[in-house]
Chain A
Amino acid sequence: MEDMLFYDRLQFAFTITFHYIFPQLTMGLSLMIVYFKWEFLRTKVEHYNNAAKFFMKIFAINFTMGVVTGIPMEFQFGTNWAKFSELTGGIIGQTLAMEGMFSFFLESSFLALFIFGEKLMGQKLHLLTGFLVFLGSWASGWFILATNAWMQHPVGYEILENGKYVLENFSALFLNPWLLPAFLHNQVASVVTSSFVVASIGAFYILRNKNVAYGKLFLKTGVIFGLVSSLLIAFPTGDWNAKNVAKYQPASFAAMEGIFETEHAGAEIVLVGQPNMVEKKLDNKIAVPNILSFLTYQEWDKQIPGMDQFKQEELPTNIPALYYAYHIMVGLGTVFIGIMFLAGFFLWQKKLYNIKPLLWTIMFLVPFPYIANLTGWYVAELGRQPYLVYGLLKTSEGISPTVSSGNTLFTLLGFVALYMLLGLLFLVLVGKTIHQGPKTQTH
């Protein structure tokens, strides 16, 4: 039983991590494509149009990868989490079905129209198809976040005699207080990723001395979008989410902030330190007193319950992983604000394109927003443990009763091999598209 749970979780974690590399770029990138196309209609500068079409090519590769890695996600609810699907299908089945049909359909059909239909439709309709691609991808995100919000903070449900959950109040699913902050945080985070990708390609072109005009356009756009989104990710969206966790999942809050013991007055904020699970304390701690209480409740002396206030079975199962995921996310977010602020300053001074060290930094920073996005999701998912539906259904109660751990390990190994191949192909194709550059448009 323990084995089954472990491999089921490992397989889900692996496949969802790999899957989320792609949608986090497409959601943000679609917004920037709409911006490029809009600027083209406004200014009639051909570069903007080519930029929009170039990034739609990159979008298309990511979208294909997102689809082929997304179908296994839907299937896995049934194959590996049968008990969970059986009990909660009446609720989360709805949002997932809507995601599959509505958004998927919108995205895939209008993506094809955008790529193949520019001459046929004229410029205004072309902008509209781009906008609908954006709408489809953000609606997708909305439905997935609605599903996750219900698991984090279940609302509007009723439990039948046979243990099944049914929806009592449909609108409650979308008015869930967890949903809006999580959705905004997630979407802004995907704009951070896409800004860094756009800026990084721009920096590459400038340093490579190739497509320099496009390089400058990409870098400028990436830095502006990146500065705004990096700020929004911390405040108000990140702040709002942290307050939600403190309110609805206080045990997770204590674990992710690394508070082992409750202090008498205000709680300190931990900047550096490693959780020591044997002695129940942080090793090598650097902390600033009272800040956490102020950030969370705007009161310097407000007491925040530490992990000693909760029963062992209420605490997240992997406290160090949760703690590190949270601190990596926050730390990277802070670095992004710093770098983007610096780049924005030099852009304003009209010096940015000549400062090579900064260009190199921006170019190589591109994996880190991905890491920040993924660790952010780890915080949400590890923080919810040991529950699958917070407070109601334990993760161990959700797995398929008939699928043995050996079978799951077999399929996990298969997914690892297949996804390695996919990842390699993905890098080759994106690399090829970047190498060709925006000018050699075939469509």
Chain B
Amino acid sequence: MEIFWYIIIAIVLAMFFILDGYDFGTGIVHLFFAKKEEDKEVIAKAAGLFWDSNEVWLVAAGGMLFMAFPTFYASVFSGFYLPLIIVLWLIIFRAIGLEFRSQFNYQMWKDMWDKAFGVSSLLLALFFGIALGNIVRGVNLGGVENGISAYEAHYFFLPLWDASFNPSTTHPGVIDWFTLTIGVISVVVLTIHGANWVILKTNSSINNKLKLTIFKLNIVLSALTVFSLSIWHIINPSPFKNFLEKPYLIVFPLIYFSGIIGLFFVKKNKNNTNFIFSTLLVLGGITSL
């Protein structure tokens, strides 16, 4: 039964990252690459139609976690208290940015909400990456200090950051240089993903330029991936143990790398193939972690 729920929730979470992932990515594209008002309009409209149905997956994942793994839900949600509440504020901000930008026809009004939408999308992509980084790095369960637990063994609490930003201290914060790296990777991946979605769904004037951007970002992503793999041993002395013990798990990183390779041919491929490749990228990325 537990495994059944685990798989279901994993699927729902993957759906959330893929669907809301392009949503966030669209916001980032909107922030950095859309210059003309028409482009901003079509991109915001394209995202505006889908954000609430994508958010349903978050609500569903939260609800199912609550129902099937209440202890885990309680521990993680209270442990990551500050980042989670900040994510909530960002989600609210993003939603009102999208919903309200076209309610008044003043340029300043639109610009203001465009920035709200873009910046909160960017930060959300970063925070979700950081969250994944935290899960990989692990947390101090039970608040153990000198071998003594401060509270029940399955609870913990993380500050936003520790002054050293060092992942290997006994009390790491939510943000350290390792989780930040994963966060940046997440931003790049979701930007690529969002750009592909914009190309697929709209005929904005920047679509051709975006393909070039995807190509460039893919190079950045490859470099970042190599970098993160090279530092992995710092947080986990035997990083590939899981893969050696259960060789079938290797399929997940392979999905990720096939996404990267596929995207190098961004100009030749059809638009929907590109979207599939970036979906693979998101999927492979989170499942590998």
Contacts of B76 in A (CB 8 A): 78
Residues of B59-80 contacting chain A, CB below 8 A: 59-60, 62-64, 66-71, 73-79
Interface residue B6 (Cβ < 8 Å from any Cβ of A): no
B67 nearest in chain A by CB position: A93
Q: Contact check, A71 vs B59: say whether CB atoms are below 8 A apart.
A: yes
Interface residue A291 (Cβ < 8 Å from any Cβ of B): no
| Contact digits for A405-443, partner B, Cβ 8 Å, 1 yes 0 no | 001001100100010001001000100100000000000
Interface residue A216 (Cβ < 8 Å from any Cβ of B): no
CB distance from B85 to the nearest CB of A (A): 5
Most-contacted residue by chain B among A99, A101, A418 (CB, 10 A): A101
Residues of B86-129 contacting chain A, CB below 8 A: 88-89, 91-93, 95-96, 99-100, 103-104
Q: Contact check, B77 vs A402: say whether CB atoms are below 8 A apart.
A: no
Contacts of A276 in B (CB 8 A): none
Within the assembled complex, what's the spacing in Å between the Cα atoms of A69 and B59? 12
Residues of A49-100 contacting chain B, CB below 8 A: 64, 67-69, 71-72, 74-75, 77-80, 82-83, 85-90, 93-94, 96-100
Partner of B92, one of A82, A101, A403, A418: A418
Q: Contact check, B58 vs A71: say whether CB atoms are below 8 A apart.
A: yes
Within the assembled complex, what's the spacing in Å between the Cα atoms of A98 and B63? 8
Interface residue B252 (Cβ < 8 Å from any Cβ of A): no
Partner of A94, one of B56, B62, B67, B77: B67
Q: Contact check, A67 vs B55: say whether CB atoms are below 8 A apart.
A: yes
Contacts of B85 in A (CB 8 A): 72, 75, 79, 411, 414
Q: Contact check, A402 vs B151: say whether CB atoms are below 8 A apart.
A: yes
Partner of A77, one of B64, B66, B69, B95: B66
What are the nearest 9 A-B pairs in CB distance?
Answer: A89-B70, A78-B77, A97-B63, A93-B67, A400-B78, A402-B157, A82-B74, A82-B78, A86-B74
Contacts of A77 in B (CB 8 A): 66, 73, 77
CB distance from A148 to the nearest CB of B (A): 16
Majority SS at the chain A contact face: helix
Q: Contact check, A401 vs B92: say whether CB atoms are below 8 A apart.
A: no
Contacts of B100 in A (CB 8 A): 425, 429
Q: Contact check, A71 vs B78: say whether CB atoms are below 8 A apart.
A: no
Q: Contact check, A104 vs B56: say whether CB atoms are below 8 A apart.
A: yes
Q: Contact check, B103 vs A432: say whether CB atoms are below 8 A apart.
A: yes
Interface residue A105 (Cβ < 8 Å from any Cβ of B): yes
Within the assembled complex, what's the spacing in Å between the Cα atoms of A46 and B98? 32
Within the assembled complex, what's the spacing in Å between the Cα atoms of A184 and B100? 34
Contacts of B63 in A (CB 8 A): 74, 93, 96-101
Residues of B27-62 contacting chain A, CB below 8 A: 49, 52-53, 55-56, 58-60, 62
Q: Contact check, B67 vs A402: say whether CB atoms are below 8 A apart.
A: no
Apart from the given pairs A82-B78, A93-B66, A101-B56, 8 other A-B contacts in the complex at a CB distance below 8 Å: A69-B92, A74-B62, A74-B66, A75-B85, A82-B155, A90-B70, A96-B66, A99-B63
